[in-house]
């Protein structure tokens, strides 16, 4: 009668039911799950429980470990040649679902970038992850609904926006081109703009009515309150807010040229190609040039506005003095130059100082719609 092989190592817990499994066991004695082929039931980073088909943690985005190393090692030493067939089977089963052009680490990084941008994991199918982006609506619409409905409309609008207008995006491993999600971004932007204009108009009407009644009744104090409401309404208008957001010093008057930068992140969809190398990109930088007339630092008239898009490498080389092969500055200048355009603006008409560029870059990053 052959003797039983001695079990080496310590016992581990079953990843499915959590019961203790003897060292060297291939199956859980409680639930019968295959220990070598099973996956851990909880995330090793945040202890969140995995679903059966999850490859990533829905809470922190960490990759789910493939199997328990200790039990797999003990089982391999006990079964001998059986591990070779098991390894070949697992290799054959993993190869069809693992596209060669993107590793698991790269796909995890792509998912994590969306999680950092505010998206949430709605469904995890391993090599396919469905993300969702939820919100409760714009502030302007909520303020307008509160003034009209007293709060009931705010609850309904927030529920409708959170459940019905949630944006969904599916990421597929091996497909570097992220599809544009079927979103309501355009409709949301239009609704927010209309609501902001309505709110500004309502404040202007209230301020004008108070100022008129106060002027007829001879009450300067109430007239000042009416003027304050009118100024508040004028400041709430989107064009006025945009101009106040990129204001300069109070001593600035006359014609002024500004250049600012905005970082393009992978979660954005950029249709334009790089102005230097002509390639499409998902990470890079947008450079915006403005020629406008300012009064007391506030831009009143915009005479010219142009955009240049750069990939990461060309932005580092062309804008920040890096060296990547041939210097692309000449190519970028040739690509940007147009008759009467801004191709020679950097050298002849005077580009802003670095401090001015950084200050306007902060303003541009705060409002990504101004691209």
SS (H, E, C) 179-242: CCCCCCHHHHHHHHHHHHHHHHHHHHHHHHHHHHHHHHHCCHHHHHHHHHHHHHHHHHCHHHHH
With CA atoms as reference, report the closest residue to 76 among 29, 35, 37, 24.
24
Task: Name the least confident of 52-56, 103-107, 200-204, 233-237.
Answer: 52-56
Q: pLDDT: is 35 or 162 the higher one?
A: 162
Q: What pLDDT, on a 0 to 100 scale, did the predictor assign at position 29?
A: 64
* 8 A C-beta contact, residue 62 and residue 45: yes
Distance CA 260, CA 274 (A): 17
Total domain count, the chain: 4
How many beta carbons lie within 10 A of that of residue 138, not counting itself?
A: 18
Q: What is the rounded average pLDDT of the residues 154-175?
A: 81
Same domain, 150 and 60: no
> Same structural domain for residues 189 and 174?
no
Asked whether residue 254 falls in the same domain as residue 319, the answer is yes
pTM across the whole model = 0.38
Shared-domain flag, residues 178 and 189: no
Average pLDDT over every residue of 61-83: 48
Do 128 and 175 meet the contact criterion of CB atoms below 8 Å apart? no
CB 208 within 8 A of CB 230: yes
**What are residue 301's DSSP bridge partners?**
293
**For residue 288, pLDDT beyond 70:** yes
At 12, the pLDDT band (50, 70, 90 cuts) reads: low
Do residue 44 and residue 111 come from a single domain?
no
Query: What is the rounded distance in angstroms from the CA atom of residue 257 to the CA atom of residue 123?
Result: 48
The candidate with the shortest Cα–Cα distance to 36, out of 58, 21, 50, is: 21
Asked whether residue 47 is assigned to any structural domain, the reply reads yes
pLDDT at 182: 43
In terms of Cα–Cα distance, which of 126, 159, 133, 130 is closest to 56? 126
- The widest CA-to-CA distance across the chain, in whole angstroms, is 114
For residue 190, the model assigns a pLDDT of 67
Q: Are residues 26 and 90 both part of a single domain?
A: yes
Model pLDDT, residue 153: 83
Question: Between these two residues, 289 and 363, which has the higher pLDDT value?
Answer: 289
Instruction: Read off the pLDDT band of 254 (50, 70, 90).
Output: confident
Cβ-based neighbour number of residue 351 at 10 Å: 16
- Top mean pLDDT of 58-67, 143-152, 205-214, 232-241 is at 205-214
Which domain-ending residue is among 168, 183, 198? 183
* Residue at 20 is within a domain: yes
Is 310 a domain residue?
Answer: yes
pLDDT, average across residues 291-300: 84
Asked whether residue 283 falls in the same domain as residue 310, the answer is yes
Pick the last residue of a domain from 161, 183, 205.
Answer: 183
Binned at pLDDT 50, 70 and 90, residue 279 comes out as confident
Is 119 a member of any domain? Answer: yes
Any bridge partners for residue 260, and if so which? 288
pLDDT (tens digit, 9 = 90+) per residue, 183-217? 444 555 666 677 777 878 888 888 888 888 888 88
Residues 126, 52 share a domain = no
Q: Residue 116: what pLDDT?
A: 79
Asked if pLDDT for residue 277 goes beyond 80, the answer is yes
Q: Is the pLDDT of residue 8 over 80?
A: no
pLDDT at residue 222 greater than cutoff 80: yes
Return d(Cα 44, Cα 64) in angstroms, integer: 8
Same domain, 62 and 166: no
C-alpha radius of gyration, the chain, whole number: 30
**Would you say residue 5 lies in a domain?**
no
Residue 305 domain flag: yes
Average pLDDT over residues 163-180: 72
Domain of 328?
A: 246-366
pLDDT band at 52 (very low <50, low <70, confident <90, very high): low
Asked if the structure places residue 170 within a domain, the reply is yes
- Of 245, 270, 287, the last residue of a domain is 245
CA distance 241 to 146: 22
Whether 317 is in a domain gets the answer: yes
Please, which pLDDT band fits residue 303 given cuts at 50, 70 and 90? confident
What is the distance of C-alpha 220 from the center of its chain? 50
Say if residue 139 is in the same domain as residue 227. Answer: no
Q: 58-62, 113-117, 237-241, 245-249: lowest mean pLDDT where?
A: 58-62
- Inter-residue contact 129 to 171 (CB < 8 Å): yes
Residues 217 and 271 in one domain: no
- Tell me which long-range contacts 173-181 makes (C-beta under 8 A, separation of at least 24): 173/98, 173/99, 173/102, 173/104, 173/107, 173/126, 173/127, 173/128, 174/99, 174/100, 174/101, 174/102, 174/107, 174/127, 175/102, 176/101, 176/102, 176/282, 178/110, 178/266, 178/269, 178/282, 180/269
Rounded to 5 degrees, φ, ψ at 156 are -65, -40
Integer Cα distance of 228 and 300 in angstroms = 22
Domain identity same for 109 and 178: yes
């Amino acid at each position: 009668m052959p003797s039983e092989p001695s079990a080496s190592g310590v016992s581990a817990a079953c990843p499915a039911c959590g019961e203790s499994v003897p060292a060297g066991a291939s199956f859980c004695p409680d639930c019968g799950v295959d220990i070598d082929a099973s996956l851990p039931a909880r995330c090793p980073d945040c202890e969140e429980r995995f679903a059966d088909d999850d490859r990533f943690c829905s809470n922190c985005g960490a990759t789910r470990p493939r199997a328990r190393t200790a039990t797999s090692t003990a089982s391999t030493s006990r079964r001998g040649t059986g591990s070779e067939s098991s390894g070949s089977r697992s290799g054959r089963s993993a190869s069809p679902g693992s596209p060669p052009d993107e590793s698991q680490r790269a796909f995890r990084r792509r998912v994590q970038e969306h999680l950092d941008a505010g998206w949430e994991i709605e469904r995890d199918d391993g090599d396919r992850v469905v993300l969702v982006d939820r919100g409760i609506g714009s502030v302007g619409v909520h303020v307008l609904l509160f003034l009209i409905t007293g709060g009931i409309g705010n609850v309904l609008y927030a529920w409708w926006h959170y459940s019905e207008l949630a944006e969904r995006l599916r990421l597929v491993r091996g497909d570097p081109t992220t599809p544009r999600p079927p979103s309501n971004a355009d409709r949301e932007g239009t609704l927010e703009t209309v609501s902001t204009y309505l709110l500004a108009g309502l404040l202007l009407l209230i301020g004008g009515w108070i100022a008129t009644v106060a002027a007829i009744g001879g009450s300067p104090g109430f007239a000042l309150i009416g003027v304050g409401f009118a100024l508040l309404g004028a400041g709430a208008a989107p064009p006025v807010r945009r101009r106040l957001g990129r204001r300069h010093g109070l001593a600035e008057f006359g014609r002024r040229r500004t250049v600012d930068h905005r970082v393009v992140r992978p979660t954005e969809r950029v249709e334009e190609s790089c102005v230097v190398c002509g390639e499409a990109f998902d990470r890079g930088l947008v450079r915006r040039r403005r020629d406008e007339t300012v009064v007391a630092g506030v831009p009143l008239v915009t005479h010219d506005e142009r955009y240049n898009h750069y990939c990461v490498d060309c932005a580092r080389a062309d804008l920040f003095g890096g060296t990547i092969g041939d210097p692309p500055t000449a190519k970028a200048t040739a690509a940007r130059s147009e008759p009467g355009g801004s191709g020679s603006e950097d050298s002849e008409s005077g580009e802003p100082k670095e401090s001015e560029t950084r200050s306007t870059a902060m303003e541009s990053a705060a409002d990504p719609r101004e691209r």
